């Protein structure tokens, strides 16, 4: 009688161990299938974050170019203060051309996973940016001064719109 009890108890422990092993294997397969999906979701979130920064930078660059056209069409001594919100991942801001020379573009350099992305907005009026514009590249809100001048610092014989932080 005692032998049968041990045998039945041993069989009972064996069935519990088998069902625990089956559950562990099932959960492992579930995790193996779920892991790539979670990794892809994180990659997609990171990609959409840099896309959002690029889109926001395009909006701010267009705003600066638009106000520059408005101020430039009014001529000297017109000026306007503009509140801009610099998005994350902006490395530098150039107005006019690269290195803030006299030109027709507002350029935001945005860091992305694929490297630097140059976001530009065109302005039909000549514009030039202050060298201190790079100080507003960290994320945040800044007031910038957009003013029409009779002589550009980079081209003294030409009129232009000068953009500088306040």
pLDDT at position 122 is 92
In angstroms, the CA 75 to CA 126 distance is 12
pLDDT score at 16: 67
User: What is the reported pLDDT for 83?
Assistant: 93
Q: pLDDT, tens digit, for every residue of 116-166? A: 889 999 999 989 888 777 777 788 899 999 999 888 877 777 888 888 888
- The predicted model scores a pTM of 0.69
CA–CA separation, 161 vs 65, rounded Å? 10
- At 60-112, the pLDDT tens digits run 999 999 999 999 888 888 999 999 998 888 888 888 887 778 888 999 988 88
């Amino acid at each position: 009688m005692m032998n049968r009890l041990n045998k039945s108890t041993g069989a009972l422990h064996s069935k519990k161990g088998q069902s625990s092993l089956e559950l562990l294997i099932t959960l492992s397969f579930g995790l193996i299938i779920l892991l790539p999906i979670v990794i892809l979701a994180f990659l997609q979130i990171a990609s959409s974050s840099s896309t959002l920064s690029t889109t926001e930078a395009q909006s701010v660059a267009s705003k600066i170019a638009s106000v520059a056209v408005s101020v430039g069409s009014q001529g000297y001594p017109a000026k306007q203060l503009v509140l801009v919100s610099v998005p994350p991942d902006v490395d530098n801001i150039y107005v006019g051309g690269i290195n803030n020379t006299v030109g027709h573009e507002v350029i935001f350099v945005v860091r992305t996973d694929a490297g630097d992305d140059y976001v530009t907005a065109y302005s039909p009026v000549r514009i030039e940016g202050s060298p201190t514009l790079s100080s507003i590249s960290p994320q945040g809100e800044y007031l910038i001064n957009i003013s029409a001048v009779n002589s550009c610092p980079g081209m003294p014989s030409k009129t232009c719109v000068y953009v500088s932080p306040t």
